[in-house]
Each structure stands twice: as structure tokens, then as C-alpha cells.
Amino acid sequence: MSERDDLLQKYASNLPDDRYRNHYVSYASNFLESAAALEELEGLYREWDATFWEEIRKDVEPKGIKWYDLSPNEADRWRELLSEASVSWVLEMSPEVGKALFEIVEKVTGRKVM
């Protein structure tokens, strides 16, 4: 018996023995299939992403550009620094448009920009 089947069996054993039991098990089964498909898709994306950046690296390093892989914390720090610089520049160039734009970004993302 597979891990998935074992999980569904345990789930079914905890359900009340009524006429809807098979429907609940069917929903759980579909959910597990969807989760497995998403996991597979995530794996394919990670593989594609790694290949993409490796190709970029092969292209830029011979041209004298040094490539650095940043840690997640360092990548977040740089993203924040660049966001601050971008916000300052946009607000300096066009304060009204920038303010309206960043209010929308804050509303949509829930992330404080200004």
C-alpha cells in the first residue's frame, strides 16, 4: 500500500460512516493528486531556473562579469535597498505619479513602500 493510500485509509477511518463518506474520501484523493502535481511542477521550475541561471553565468563570466550567488538574506537586503532607491528616484522625478503608484502597490501587496 502506498503512502497516499495509507493516508486516505486513515482519513476514511476517522469519518462518520454515512452516505457522504465516499465523497469526502474522493475530495481528499483529488487534493493529494493536486498537491503531488504542484510538487512536481515546483521541481520542474527549480530545475528550469537552475539551468537558466547556469546559462546566464556561462554567457557573462567570459565577458569579465563576476557572478555572485547571494544568500536569501542578502538577496532580500539588496531588494530592499533597490526598492528604497527606486522609490526615492520616482518620487523625485514625479511626486504626484509616484505617490499614486506606490499607494496602489501598498494596497495590492500589503507591503509598506513609502
Q: Are residues 62 and 74 in the same domain?
A: no
List pLDDT tens digits, range 65-100: 887 878 888 888 888 888 888 888 888 998 898 888
Map grid coordinates 511542477 to a residue.
41
pTM, 2 dp = 0.43
How big, in percent rounded to 5, are the helix, strand and coil portions of the chain? 80, 0, 20
Asked if 113 contacts 87 with a C-beta cutoff of 8 angstroms, the reply is yes
Residue-number span of the structural domain to which 94 is assigned: 70-114
Using the predicted structure, report yes or no on whether residue 113 has a pLDDT greater than 80.
no
Question: What is the domain count for the chain?
Answer: 2
Q: Residue 80's pLDDT is what?
A: 83
Q: Are residues 15 and 57 in the same domain?
A: yes
List pLDDT tens digits, range 33-72: 888 888 899 999 989 988 988 898 899 889 988 878 788 8
State how far the alpha carbon of 110 is from the alpha carbons of 78, 103, 105, 113, 114, in Å.
20, 10, 8, 9, 12
Phi-psi region of 59 (alpha: psi -120 to 50; beta: other; left: phi over 0): alpha
pLDDT band at 25 (very low <50, low <70, confident <90, very high): confident
